[in-house]
Amino acid sequence: MLHRLRFIPGRILQAIPVAFGVTILVFLMSHLLPGNPAVAILGSHATPASVAALSKHLGLDKPLWEQYWLFLTHLLQGDLGQSLTYQQPVVGLVFSAVPVTLSLVAYALVLSLIISVPLAGWAATKPSGVRDLAVRAYTLLGQGMPQFWVGIMLILLVAVRLRLFPVSGYGQTPLDHLYYLFLPALTLAISMCPTIIRSLRASTIQVLGSEYIGTARSKGIAGASLFRVHVLRNAAIPTVSIVGVNLGYLVGGSLVIEHVFAIPGLGSLMINAIFARDFPTIQGVALFVALFVVIVGIVTDVVYTLLDPRVDLANTEAVR
Amino acid sequence: MTTAPAPTLPPVTAARRPARSRSLRPWYRNGPLVAGIVIVGGLILVAIFAPLITPYSPTTQNLTDVLQGPSGAHWLGTDQFGRDVFTRLVWSTRVDLRIGFIAVLIPFVVGSILGGLAGYFGGWLDLIVMRLVDIFFAFPFYVMVIALVFVLGAGETSIYLAIATVSWVSYAKIVRGEVLVAKQQDYVMAARLGGFSHLRVLARHIGPNVLSQAIIYAMSDIVQDIMAIVTLGYLGLGIAPPTAEWGSMISQGQQFITTQWEQATIPGLAVVVTSLGLSWLGDGLSDLLSPDRRK
């Protein structure tokens, strides 16, 4: 089992230059701001003294690479700068918002799977049948709807008309969170599902046509256990990497959806920071999210390897 | 292309139809393509003839007629500034379609060139381009677009630049993959033996053969770009008011969702119709351009 994961150190090594690249890109953003970065960051009402202090902190009188080095050392010390609106370190703000966003993303992922797996299986059992056409119509429409608009429509139908779920907010207790985050998570799931369904449907059709399913059927296995044990496990493998790749998309979408439902996560932090012209906070969120996506890439590869039964088989005896 | 051996139809997976019958089908029998052309063509006409379609101005306020329901004079009612909602919907087509179509051009060109060069020449160039792809890919679309629009300031130019920065990556990946396959083909070898330079082979011989995939992708990319523009408009980071734009219309309508639900609903439907048309156009094109490769 363990030796199949030997690739992990190499994979992490490969991610290191990418992570550095991410920090360089985020660092360069401050130099795209018009004028002196310190003035741009602090705003036009800043006192000369505070501008001078920030300039010194950022090393603006030094060459670019030294400024980057300074940025990186600050970063490694957990210093992403000071938020201008909240007057506290950006790192603290980001870390208090991360659990909210991550639970929203995880919730959305769970809902996506709950919706996608049956729909994909349902569609794949009879390609081009009525059910398949219905599912494909949904995948087509689902990708054409702006996420935030889906959110507003859910608010309109489920929260305003039916009064089943709250219009916005996050609640106090964990149970509250589950209740408050349901509509936002469903919104994200509705736009995430088409991608998952497409992949899962295609691979399920392929698996259903394979010889080992014929064998399983001839042994009298049918219905749910055939689907669960023989079909889904195999059909899910390509979908795992699709989900991994799209997790970044999900995080990006959740930023907008948080704004729609007024949920205090990274998205609200970032979007409020935009209107307050609070650059360090934007920089911090962008950096955090990008590094998160890099890590998710590694995790996806690990899960993929663990799930692939063919690697498992090679391990014991049969195929090689 | 190899001649297909007469296949005994597999019982369960009727998924792979013989590819030829598709490509020999005349284009007007290609359902998605026709539907896509009708919808997208119709929207383009609406955009061009917007002033002829409605008698009202999309921006002039009329504070005596605010927040009216649908009527004969105002088909979809009026917004809180007394502007005709139908007029604003029609005029938005101009803004959103134009930006969507223009925004796709820069990443298409930049990504295809970088991907093509990386795939063809390989080596350190490939290494650098692919690491850049990894780095840019780490930023989710909206994070990058929102951050860049903030840095560059709201406005149309910023939208183009932000979208270009994010989406060249996909074109580079697609074209690189295609070039890697194409450069093994005999015709490339023949062109090289004929004494043509690398760049000429890449541009004149490989290029036309690999770009179809990028063009097909561009169709779905326009959908994504329009989503981005609408989302930025919704967040108040896109096209500045009072210009009519679907995203800002939705955001405005959201304030009156309890009394006038149609104000937030209908611009969203316009986006859905637009992306449906573009998706069908893309599907139809992919049938037409690469009949042997349909998923």
Interchain proximity B264–A156, CB inside 8 Å: yes
The per-residue pLDDT for range B78-101, each reduced to its tens digit, is: 888 888 889 999 999 999 999 999
Residue A313 has pLDDT above 60, yes or no: no
Residues of B in contact with A18 (CB under 8 A): 131, 134-135, 138
The per-residue pLDDT for range A190-213, each reduced to its tens digit, is: 989 998 998 889 888 888 888 888
Residue B108 has pLDDT above 90, yes or no: yes
ipTM computed for the complex: 0.84
At residue A235, the 3 state secondary structure works out as: helix
Residues of B in contact with A294 (CB under 8 A): 138
Interchain proximity A145–B272, CB inside 8 Å: yes
B236 burial via Cβ count (<10 Å: 0-12, 13-18, 19+)? middle
Nearest CA in chain A to B165: A25
Q: Which of A145, A160, A205 sits opposite B258 (nearest CB)?
A: A160
At residue A126, the 3 state secondary structure works out as: coil
Give percent above pLDDT 90 in chain A.
Answer: 25
Interchain proximity B272–A144, CB inside 8 Å: yes
Nearest to A140 by CA among B280, B285, B293: B280
Please check whether residue A5 is in contact with residue A265, taking contact to mean a CB–CB distance below 8 angstroms: no
Residue A226 distance to chain B (closest CA, Å): 15
* Residue B291, pLDDT score: 55
* Residue B8, pLDDT score: 45
The per-residue pLDDT for range B121-174, each reduced to its tens digit, is: 988 999 999 989 989 988 888 888 888 888 888 788 889 998 999 899 999 999
Helix, strand, coil shares of chain A, percent, nearest 5, are 80, 0, 20
* Residue A310, pLDDT score: 60
Lowest-pLDDT choice from A186-195, A200-209, A300-309, B218-227: A300-309
Interchain proximity A141–B276, CB inside 8 Å: yes
The per-residue pLDDT for range B6-35, each reduced to its tens digit, is: 444 444 444 444 444 455 677 777 888 999
Residue A307 sits at the vertex; the CA angle it makes with A302 and A313, to the nearest 5 degrees, is 115
d(CA A81, CA B287): 52
CB proximity B109 to A under 8 Å: no
Q: How confident is the model at residue A149 (pLDDT cuts 50, 70, 90)?
A: very high
Residue keyed to tokens 């955009």: B47
Please check whether residue A235 is in contact with residue A203, taking contact to mean a CB–CB distance below 8 angstroms: yes
Q: What is the mean pLDDT of residues B196-221?
A: 87
Residue A115 has pLDDT above 90, yes or no: yes
* Residue A231, pLDDT score: 82
**Average pLDDT of chain A to the nearest whole number:** 84
* Residue A317, pLDDT score: 36
Q: How confident is the model at residue A312 (pLDDT cuts 50, 70, 90)?
A: very low
* Residue A241, pLDDT score: 79
Q: How confident is the model at residue A2 (pLDDT cuts 50, 70, 90)?
A: low
Interchain proximity A206–B295, CB inside 8 Å: no
Residue A44 has pLDDT above 80, yes or no: no
Q: Is domain B35-52+75-293 in CATH 1.10.1040.50, yes or no?
A: no
d(CA A190, CA A141): 10
d(CA A264, CA B186): 58
Q: Which of residues 143-182 of B touch A (CB under 8 A)?
A: 143-144, 146-148, 150-153
Residues of B in contact with A145 (CB under 8 A): 268, 271-272, 275
Alpha helix (H) residue ranges in A33-129: 37-42, 48-58, 64-76, 90-124
Q: Which of A127, A255, A282 sits opposite B14 (nearest CB)?
A: A127
At residue B78, the 3 state secondary structure works out as: strand
